[in-house]
Amino acid sequence: MTVPIRAQQRAADLRAQLNQHNYHYYVLDDPIISDAEYDRLLRELQELESEYIELVTADSPTQRVGAEPLLSFEEVKHNVPMLSLSNAFEENEVITFDRRIRERVDVDVVEYVAEPKVDGLAISLLYERGVLVRGATRGDGMTGEDVTQNVKTIRSIPLRLLGKQYPRLIEVRGEVFMTHKGFLALNKRQSSAGLKQFVNPRNAAAGSLRQLDPRLTAQRPLQMFCYALGEVDDGDMPESQYALLQQLRGWGLAVSPLVELVEGVEQCLAYYHGMVEKRQSLTYPIDGIVYKVNDLSLQQSLGFVSRAPRWALAHKFPAQEETTLVKAIEVQVGRTGAITPVARLEPVFVGGVTVSNATLHNRAEIERLDLRVGDTVVVRRAGDVIPEVVKVIGKRRPRAAKGFQFPTRCPVCHSEIVYEGGEGIIARCSGGLYCSAQRKEHLKHFASRKAMDIDGLGDKIIDQLVETGMVQDIADLYSLTVAQLAGLDRLAEKSAQNLVAALERSKQTTLHRFLFALGISQVGETTARQLTDHYGSLESIMNATENDLQSVTDIGPIVATNIYTFFRQSHNKQVIRKLRRRGVMWPETGIIKKDVSKLPLSGKTIVLTGILSAMPRNEAKARLQDLGAKVAGSVSSKTDYVIVGAEPGSKAIKAAQLGVEVLDETQFLKLLSKLGPR
C-alpha cells in the first residue's frame, strides 16, 4: 500500500512532538503539555501506524511496549569494559585520593564533578545514527545481558537522540532506578496480588529490568540518569566531564540535576555533607557521592588500577542497617481493613532516624524470617523510608523466644479476619461497616458517585463527622440534622440543608448500587450487578452459601468467601438493618435464578484475550454467558477454551503452556452460530 505523503509527514511530526515532550517531562522536569494532550498525540500516531503499517519505525514512541516475552536473555560483550569504582568510607580516604591525583598530575588544585551515587542498576545504551539499538546490563563488567526490549519501556530513555550533532555510534552509560514513591506503590500492588514484595528500590529496579516479559517491565516505575560514555565512533566529544553531561542532556538523556563542579577536596567534602542532609528529602535512593576528575584528558593520563579508574571515587554513606531486639509483635488495622503485623523494637538509630517499629508485611513474611519475640534482628530503612526487618540472627536467639500466632479476629472490632491473595497471605478485617479503623474510608466509599451518590459529602466533612463522634457507622448518616451539620467547620446552613436533602435523595437506590456501597472486599460494580441479576434480593444474597455464591458468573472461591464472611458478621447485619429502618430502599427484582445446567456451554470456563473485530468484548462475554459459560479473567488448568483476538496478551501464552484449547475469532463466531441465535 502506498502511504500518502500527508500521512508520512503527520507521523514524522507526531514522533518529533512526542519525543520533544518526553524530553521536557523526563529530562528538563518542565512539561509543556498536559498528560491528556500527550495521550491524544500518542493515540493519533497509533491510529496512523495501524492504518499504514509502513509508518512504524524502531524509534517510534508507540514501540516502547509490545515485544513478545523472551525465553532467556542474550549475552552482550562490552567492547569498553564497564568498570566499578573504588570506595571510600572515611574522609581521610577522600583526602588521600585527592592527594594522589595532585601528585600524579602535578597540580595544586583539582577540579571535580560531584554527583549523587544513585542506588540502582548500571546499564549501557547503544545508539547508532541516533537510534537506540541495544540496552545491556553491566553484568561482570565484561559481559552483560541484552535487555533492549525492557529498556525501551522506560520513558526517560529516548528511543532517538535529539538534534543531529552526535557520533555515528555512541554508548551511553547510567543507572536505572526506582523512586521511593514508585517503590512503595509497586510493593502495595505486589501485596494486594499476594505476590512477593521487593526488599528495597534497588532490588525492585533490578528485578523489573530483568523481566523476560517487557510488558511487565513497562508496568514498573523505572527511570534512568546517565553519567558516562563507553564506546564512541566518529564524532567530536566535549573536553570535560561536566560539559559531557550537559551534552547528554542536550541529546535528550536524563542527567542528575544535582551534578556540581567543585574545586579541591574541601569542596568535595562540603558537597558530601550537603547531600547527607538532603538525602532524606530526595525522591530516589542514593548511597553515596561520586567524585570524577573533570578534565577528560587528565582522566586519560591517570588511567586505571586493577578494575577501577584512578580518576574517580565513590564516597559511600554510613550503613543503613543496624541490629536490635524484637520486644513484641502486634498487628495494625489499616484504613481499608488490611491487617499488618508490626515488630516493636528496642529503639535503634538507622539512616538518620531512631527506629522503634518495623513492618513485617504479612504472616508469610513472619514465617519466612522465622521471627520470634526476643530475637536479635537486622533492621533496614527500606528505600530510606519504611523500617523493616531484614533477617533474624539465629545464633543470638534466646531460649525464651516466643513464636507469634496471627490473630483470627480484628484487634479493633473483633470481627473475623479473612485471608485473600496468593496462598491466602493477605489478612483483612471483615467488619467493614463497624470497624472504627476503617470508618472514614468506608464512609467515603459509601458516599461516592457510583455507590450511594451523596452529593456534598466530601472528605473534609467526613473527617469532621468521624472525629466529633457524630457518625459511628454509615447508617448514622441518615439521622443527621441540619442543625448538627451547620455546626461543622466551614459548613454554612444552606450547605447543611443541601447535604440533608442529598442524603434523603440517596435513600432511593438500586440493589447493585447498595451492594457496591457496602464496600465488601473485591466486590466492585460488575460483581455487585452480577449478584443482583443472579439473586434478585438482598436477603437471598445474605443467605447464600460459599458454594452457592461460586455459581455466580466470575465469582471464585476468594470473592465468595469475602461475601459470605461479610454477611455472617453480626455487626454488619446490624448496620444493614439500621439502614433499612432509616429509609434506604430499592425495588426488589424478584429474579429467579437461571437453570443453566441445560445450556450448551454449561460447566465450561472460557477466557477472552485480544481485540475482537466482530463485536465488543462485553458483547462477546454476554453471548457466552447466555449460553451457560463462565467467562473468567485468567487462564488456569481448569479453563476449557481461550478465545484469541488481535494483539493477544499473556493469556494466550499461558494457554499454550497449559495445553488449553485456543479458538481464533473465526472459530469463535462459528461456535456462536452453531450453539445459539444472535
Q: How far apart (Å, rounded) are the C-alpha atoms in residues 596 and 308?
A: 71
Helix (H, G, I), strand (E, B) or coil at 670: helix
- Phi and psi, residue 209, nearest 5°: -75, -20
Q: How far apart (Å, rounded) are the C-alpha atoms in residues 624 and 234?
A: 61
| Amino acid at site 269 | L
What does each C-alpha distance from 524 to 166, 176, 401, 563 come to in angstroms? 52, 36, 43, 12
Rg (CA), the chain: 30
Asked if 203 contacts 196 with a C-beta cutoff of 8 angstroms, the reply is no
Helix (H, G, I), strand (E, B) or coil at 83: coil
Q: Helices 459-467 & 439-447, crossing angle to 10 degrees?
A: 140
Q: Helices 201-209 & 180-192, crossing angle to 10 degrees?
A: 70
Q: How far apart (Å, rounded) are the C-alpha atoms in residues 483 and 497?
A: 9
Report residue 75 as a C-alpha cell. Answer: 549475552
- For cell 496462598, the residue is 423
The continuous run of DSSP H or E covering 328 comes out as strand 321-333
| Amino acid at site 81 | P
Q: Which of 641, 535, 638 is CA-nearest to residue 592?
A: 535
**Cβ of 259: how many Cβ atoms within 10 Å?**
19
At residue 570's C-alpha, the angle toward residues 565 and 575, to 5°, is 105
Asked if 321 contacts 378 with a C-beta cutoff of 8 angstroms, the reply is yes
| Amino acid at site 634 | S
Query: Does residue 117 carry a catalytic annotation?
Result: yes
Q: How far apart (Å, rounded) are the C-alpha atoms in residues 216 and 310?
A: 39
Asked if 669 contacts 637 with a C-beta cutoff of 8 angstroms, the reply is no
Q: How far apart (Å, rounded) are the C-alpha atoms in residues 568 and 49?
A: 54
Asked if 177 contacts 157 with a C-beta cutoff of 8 angstroms, the reply is no
Q: Helices 5-22 & 35-51, crossing angle to 10 degrees?
A: 150
Asked if 149 contacts 70 with a C-beta cutoff of 8 angstroms, the reply is yes
Name the catalytic one among 77, 117, 327, 395.
117
Catalytic residue numbers?
117
